[in-house]
Amino acid sequence: MMRLPWSPVPLVVAQGELERAHIIAAALLPAMVSGVAAFTITMFGAPYFIELIRQLRGGKRIREELPHHLSKSGVPSMGGFLFTVPVILLTVLYNLINRYSMLLTVVVLTLSAALGWVDDRLTTVRIGGEGLRARFKFTWLLLIAVAIVAILHIPRLIAPSQQNTVWIPTIGFHSMLAVIYWPLAVLAIVGSANAVNLTDGLDGLAAGTGAVAFGAFGGIALLQGKLYLGEFCFTMIGALLAFLWFNVFPARVIMGDTGALALGATLATVALMLNQMLILPVVGFVFVIETVSVMLQVSYFRATKGRRIFRASPLHIHLELLGWHENEVTQRFWIVSMLAGVAGLALAFS
């Protein structure tokens, strides 16, 4: 068996790897086309959507305890529709034929965006409400998560050999008991949705870190040979980048719960479909530290009867109060998310 002069790998293996690389490269074309299509549709529709929300007085109400953000009051909200709707349409039209597992992504995007829209609608300037009660929102998120995990166990959609399976770095794919997998999977979806929602507090923060996270999982999907899922991830990236065009400081539109809940729940669902549940906290490291900062703040406040660890939570507000400009926080968190995405991509194949 011949060997390449610069490598101990047999020539036949090198040829096999070359063929695999050609397959992945060929799969990049439809994925990129879907991403460009989503970007174009979102870019074209955004100005009309923003103007419509402005006329309907659908701007976001800012809490009085955030005086440094009061200038954002009235900025059109519910911007999550700008990337969820194009992604749903493109997935149904071009990524669903003989790929019925993609129904899962459509379902989670639709249900979580609808729940977020109800909350956003109640907190607009026009209505002036306080939004959905936290317990009510959590209950519905929990029901959505249970439904998604149940769908993951339909043999016609997901191969039985992949059910209840997770990738453990340095060990490989490992099958879990259902009594362990189900609670962890539900927690991943609910936790990710809430984590992105907490992160969505600065212009461009959630959209930018979300695009990076989907980029990491898109790469993992293509390398695993799950081309349809990679195509979906690139569609999300295209729509998110177009949304980011209007969401960077100073934002012309705000994602709101409509986008944040959909973004987080869908990201977790993609991770579960790739059997990469344990990689999700790595890729979504920014979302994790934002959530942990809130948990630490609340726990310490209750334990010490009023004392605080941070000036405010989540972490991005604390950094603002320390003197960081909003753009500094956002862009540095983008950098951290890129590093986390590379780390997650490496761990997914280690």
What average pLDDT does the segment 184-213 reach? 97
CA 156 to chain centre: 26
Span of 95-109, 172-186, 241-255, 296-310 with lowest mean pLDDT = 95-109
Q: Please report whether residue 339 resides in a domain.
A: no
Count structural domains, the chain: 1
The pLDDT score that the predictor gives to residue 2 is: 41
Q: Is residue 327 part of a domain?
A: no
Number of neighbours of residue 40 by Cβ within 10 angstroms: 14
Distance separating alpha carbons of residues 229 and 245, to the nearest angstrom: 25
pLDDT of residue 66: 57
* pLDDT of res. 245: 97
Angle between helix 256-273 and helix 81-94 axes, rounded to 10 deg: 40
- Tokens 């040829």 found at: 15
The verdict on residue 336 lying in a domain is no
pLDDT at 339 over 70: yes
**Residues spanned by the domain of 42:** 11-168+175-276
CA–CA gap between residue 137 and residue 222 (Å, rounded): 34
Angle among Cα 166, 284, 189 to the nearest 5 degrees reads: 60
Residue 153 has pLDDT above 60, yes or no: yes
Instruction: Give a yes or no: residue 301 inside a domain.
Output: no
Position 25 scores a pLDDT of 67
Among 53, 91, 45, 107, residue whose Cα is nearest residue 75: 53
Task: Say whether pLDDT at 3 is over 70.
Answer: no
Phi/psi at 278 (5° precision): -75, -20
Q: What's the distance, CA 93 to chain centroid? A: 22
Do the domain assignments include residue 300?
A: no
Q: Give Cα separations from 157 to 89, 103, 151, 173, 278 (angstroms).
A: 20, 8, 8, 19, 22
Q: Is residue 344 part of a domain?
A: no
CA atoms within 13 A on the CB side of 45: 18
Q: Is residue 304 part of a domain?
A: no
Q: Is the peptide bond before 314 cis (omega within 30 degrees of 0)?
A: yes
- For residue 109, give the nearest of 261, 288, 293, 215 by alpha carbon: 261
175 DSSP 8-state letter: E
Is 4 within a domain? no
E runs forming strands in 4-48:
none
pLDDT in tens, 41-94: 999 999 999 999 888 877 666 654 555 565 667 788 899 999 999 999 999 998
User: Which residues 6+ apart lie within 8 Å of 263 measured at CB?
Assistant: 80, 196, 206, 207, 210, 240, 255
